Amino acid sequence: MIDIRNERVNKMGVVNEKSEMPLHSGEIYHLWSHLLKAKQDLVTIQIFINHTGDKDLKALLEDFLENSVKYEEEQTESILSQNGIRLPPAPPARPEVNLQDIPAGARFNEPEIAHLVLREISIGKMECSFIIGLAHRVDLIEMFDEFHGLKMEYSDKLLTLTKEKGWLTDPPILLK
């Protein structure tokens, strides 16, 4: 069996080492959409960091922001820029605030934050898989495979944390 990733060339020349071929319209659309979502996620995670008082959750969110979300934004922005594609607008960054300055009724609580971030990571994993499936360029396939792996890693860490903190809500168990 031939491993396309090692061979890097198929009969049509679609898959190649340097990915000199231009982006197709589906790749452009999904790269642009992914970058817009990453920019929005940066702000959302900043807000969630402001809303959490749990030091473990805060540390995990800060690590996720720096090593996954910002990384994805930089990589995706680089490819779009290199190909002359206009970049999506970024929402303004949020300032750091003290948790006590946020009224209790307006504050997200830690279980809500953990579940919202887990949901967004799950959506991101599906998006990465979809883009891997439609991409023709190896560099895009590898990039989104890496993004997917990062999302898996942080999903596992966050799921473990929600279990440890007692924030996971299990569905009912079917007993017969």
Number of domains composing the chain: 1
Q: Is 18 within the bounds of a domain?
A: no
Radius of gyration of the chain (CA): 19
Query: What is the 8-class DSSP label of residue 127?
Result: H
Asked if pLDDT for residue 3 goes beyond 60, the answer is no
What is the pTM assigned to this prediction? 0.84
- Are the beta carbons of 99 and 53 closer than 8 angstroms? yes
Q: Is 109 within the bounds of a domain?
A: yes
Q: Is 33 within the bounds of a domain?
A: yes
Question: Token pair of 79, please?
Answer: 């490819």
Domain, as residue range, for 117: 24-165
Can you give the pLDDT at residue 19?
53
Residue 155 sits in a domain whose CATH number is 1.20.1260.10
Q: Is 154 within the bounds of a domain?
A: yes
Q: Is 112 within the bounds of a domain?
A: yes
Q: Is 36 within the bounds of a domain?
A: yes
Model confidence pLDDT, tens digit, residues 27-43: 999 999 999 999 999 99
The Cα–Cα gap between 156 and 162 comes to 10
Q: Is 9 within the bounds of a domain?
A: no
